[in-house]
Amino acid sequence: MKNILEAPFVKEMVDVTSNLYRLGWDERNGGNVSYLLEEADVREYLDTANVLRNIPMDFDGSALKGNYFIVTGSGKYFKNVTQDPANNLGILRVAEDGQSVDLLWGYTDGGVPTSELPAHLMSHIARLEVDPENRIVMHCHATHLLAMTFSHEMTAKAITRTLWEMCTECMVVFPEGVQVLPWLIPGSNEIGEATAEKMKQARLVLWSFHGVYGAGRTMDETFGLIETAEKAAQVYTYVQAQGGVRQTISDENFIALAKQFGITPNPVFFEAGVPNA
């Protein structure tokens, strides 16, 4: 079999965790990433009949039974993934009982997947319902987005409009907008269920005083989604420091932008709705 460390999906996980740490979005063991894999791809590198360990989880993942994921580990520092992927990452298969996962590779020190695995799986289930090609769920503590949850009105419309207005590309990148949640206990099924419900409406969910969840079809799409929103939040921070907004992009500008790029922005984020683009 091929060397698992040469697998494209392992390399993608190594690269993205390194970038998340480099940008300061995943300090210490903060943040987690899960990547839904094709069984055929996994079989090129692993004997899928060789289960190293069975790991229980407090969640019924029957909707995903038999599916394979590569997932960051609980308590693992993203800065260490590059040097030791096998200890900090794991390849899992949701077991037939739906209440546990089979470990096929990784977590070599006896570790387990992120404590937010149920939240990830719930979001995967939700996103697959609206986009069967969704593969990635990514959680990080993007600095400026996190800061906004302390100082900005925390409604989906208010947050979305501000981010759209801070950078012209934002509405093009996330025309469905951003959903928001109040503070909830990390790692709990409650926050997982609430996030999954919001994920049916948008690929970005902002957790108050904690961070952001993003979803997408590829690692680049998902990382770029969060990156774009974070850049807009950074611009917002600078604008506030400069004395606040004096002029901004208008609804008419947004409608023209939507027509130019052939997108349909979420009409609830416009004052009087948006006509067909």
120 is in an annotated binding site: no
Q: Using CA atoms, how far apart are residues 16 and 69, in angstroms rounded to an integer?
A: 16
144 is in an annotated binding site: no
Edge-to-edge strands, sheet with 89-94 = 53-56, 100-106, 89-94, 68-72, 32-37, 136-140, 211-216, 204-207, 179-181
Query: Residue 60 contacts by C-beta under 8 Å, 6 or more apart in sequence?
Result: 98, 99
Is residue 116 part of the annotated active site? The answer reads yes
139 is in an annotated binding site: yes
Structure tokens at 187: 């790692």
27, 39, 44, 116: which is the annotated catalytic residue? 116
Write the DSSP assignment of 197-240 as a string of letters.
Answer: HHHTT-SEEEETTTEEEEEESSHHHHHHHHHHHHHHHHHHHHHH
Structure tokens at 146: 């996190």
Q: Which residues are annotated as a binding site for Zn(2+)?
A: 139, 141, 210
Q: Which residues are annotated as a binding site?
A: 139, 141, 210
Catalytic residues: 116
